[in-house]
Amino acid sequence: MTVQNVADTLTLRASELTAHDSNPAAVPSGFRHFLGTPSPSQRFRAFGVDPISSPSDHARLRGLMHRLSRRMDAAIKWPPHQVRSAEHWENPLIPSGYTYLLQFIAHDLVHSAIPLSVAGGLGRGTTNARRTPLRLETLYGSGPVGSPHIYALDAPNDDRRTKLRLGRMRWKENEPASGCPFRDIARAQAENVTGVDRSIAGIRVALTEALVADPRNDDHAVMSQLTALFALLHNGLVDIIRHHEGNAGPNGQFGAAYKRFLCARGALTAIYHNVIRNDLMRRILHPAIHANYSGSAPDFIDRPGPSRNGAIGDWEIPLEFSHGAFRFGHAMVRPEYQINDLSLHDLNNTLEKSSMNDPANMPLDETWMVQWSRFFEINGSRPNFSRRIGPHLSDGLGNDQIFPAFDETERVGLLYRDLLGASLAGMWSVDALIAEIGTRRPHFIAMSRLLADRAYRVDQLREWFVSARAYGALTDEDIETLSNDPPLPFFILFEAMQQTDGLQLGLLGSIIVSEVIFGALASDPQSVLGGSLADQFDIVSRELYLANVLQEIPDISNMAQLVEFTTEIAELRQAVPAFL
């Protein structure tokens, strides 16, 4: 679920960036299609036309996606649920911290230079740089040697770096004696060859540079705070490992530092995988699909062959996941967040809190220090709940400063980008995708009338479009083409609304997400060999040390336990502002 940076589109126009290959359906490096490449007849169409083979019709396609995005501006009338203290649009099954864990995971799976919606088609700049999925590249970058700017020096007289760099928070009011300053990601001032200086003269310098491996992890305040949480956990693991190390003498200190780093990274990766497998996926997936994939040996249907260049480990992500199903996380974003006991911030303000958008007010002050019991259910806390999953996004994701217009429709916001990017990706149509899954796993499709009965599906879609027709000014022709061939990211949201009242993904969305996420976990040798988390710790440690230096780490299987363990090892139990 990626909230893209305003820098993506400040000066770019779709017509200037379209860079098609000789084969207009060629998939950029690092991507592939789910269940194999669809034939032209199996691809998404708008008004009966394949956007991949007919660039001259893209203006008409953009108009359709513009109107569809306008229809999705209409609020959904959700049925009441059992938690009476929650608003009807809230999802008490998924605290809002998981919204941003999903975004963090998206960054760990996909990293492209230019969004497909802005590029205007499959081509240069839309390649995926990730080649090893879910290995925390978004946190660690290329390690202490390849990405030294994100690591802190261990000692003043050498260049060892084993801990992730953190930055001091800023105090808006007077700093208390018991304050805990290192709670933000690291940020820095940088000289600018253009002479632009966004500092407040005589008051505060502009910290324009976020010292993180992936700049998208400073997209907004909650994202940078989640990144700081993982960095604090890594740094605490380093301290645990250091405590168990013997004194190797001065000649061994340099090598010991890298062993320590690798061990801490391996341990955090194992924890991360355990949380994804046992906590996150259980919350977001349809229960029937989760039961099919959460076991020790799931029967995958999407097993790609050798990569296009034959390279070992050259992993590629399906466009139907990255530009289709996984966009559901955008619908979970709340209109406002209780950041801590004292601070309530609306989404617009939250999105603007980054080094890119507000460098003169960096680092984050105490009003932005996340109290994690407000984002995960910890010891009975009542966290911010995510929104129910459906075809509607919070108004803040239409912010024209963060997501400005980039084509002739002048449509601002994230939703239009999601719909247009999916339409230009040459993806499977919803009908063809359902049919292909039905040939491989007919019992999956049989569980849902919405999937198994095409006439019923078209009628349900048509009824929804007609029900608030004025919002998008949809024409009869629009309604017919969208009912018969809906864009995949829209259908995933519609299905969740229809099948689970927006509390989890529907069957099709759950299948795609399960295949990719559980598939990525199954491709990790450490996860396959390790079994339990304790077993994985033992494997990680004994690859580097004679004994298990990780044996005191508890079984962490959910985000609440991850936060509580971080609180202990980072000595933040009495932190001001409150960490937990």
The region of weakest confidence among 25-29, 423-427, 436-440 is 25-29
Mean pLDDT of all residues in the chain? 89
pLDDT at 543: 92
User: What are the residue boundaries of the structural domains of the chain, listed by start?
Assistant: 1-281+320-503+557-580
Beta strands in 192-275 (DSSP E): 209-210
Question: Once rounded to an integer, what is the mean pLDDT over residues 65-72?
Answer: 97
Percent of the chain with pLDDT over 90: 73
Helix (H, G, I), strand (E, B) or coil at 192: coil
For residue 244, is pLDDT > 90?
Answer: no
The sign of the dihedral angle between the CA atoms of 20, 21, 25, 31 is negative
Q: Is the pLDDT higher at 524 or at 462?
A: 462
CATH code of the domain occupying 1-281+320-503+557-580:
1.10.640
Question: Once rounded to an integer, what is the mean pLDDT over residues 355-375?
Answer: 94
Question: Once rounded to an integer, what is the mean pLDDT over residues 54-62?
Answer: 93
Integer CA distances (angstroms), 365 to 497, 549, 566, in order:
38, 36, 21
pLDDT at 389: 98
The region of weakest confidence among 89-93, 389-393, 522-526 is 522-526
| 136-169 tens-digit pLDDT | 999 999 999 999 999 998 877 767 899 999 999 9
Instruction: Report the residue count for the chain.
Output: 580
Cβ contact 393:20 at 8 Å: no
Element (H, E) at 264: helix 253-275
| CA-wise closest residue to 416 among 66, 33, 91 | 66
pLDDT at 204: 74
Tracing tokens 């450490």 back to the chain, one arrives at: 526
Q: Is 26 left (phi over 0), alpha (psi -120 to 50) or beta?
A: beta
Kindly report the three-state secondary structure assignment for every residue of 103-139: HHHHHHHCCCCCCHHHHCCCECCCCCCCCCCCCCHHH
Percent of the chain with pLDDT over 70: 88
| 20-46 tens-digit pLDDT | 344 656 888 899 999 999 999 999 999
For residue 305, is pLDDT > 70?
Answer: no
Q: How confident is the model at residue 342 (pLDDT cuts 50, 70, 90)?
A: confident
| 212-243 tens-digit pLDDT | 999 999 999 999 999 999 999 999 999 999 98
Q: How confident is the model at residue 470 (pLDDT cuts 50, 70, 90)?
A: confident
pLDDT at 18: 39
Residue 317, strand partner residues: 31
Question: Once rounded to an integer, what is the mean pLDDT over residues 91-96?
Answer: 97
For residue 251, is pLDDT > 60?
Answer: no
For residue 55, is pLDDT > 50?
Answer: yes
Question: Once rounded to an integer, what is the mean pLDDT over residues 394-407?
Answer: 93
Question: Once rounded to an integer, what is the mean pLDDT over residues 91-119?
Answer: 88
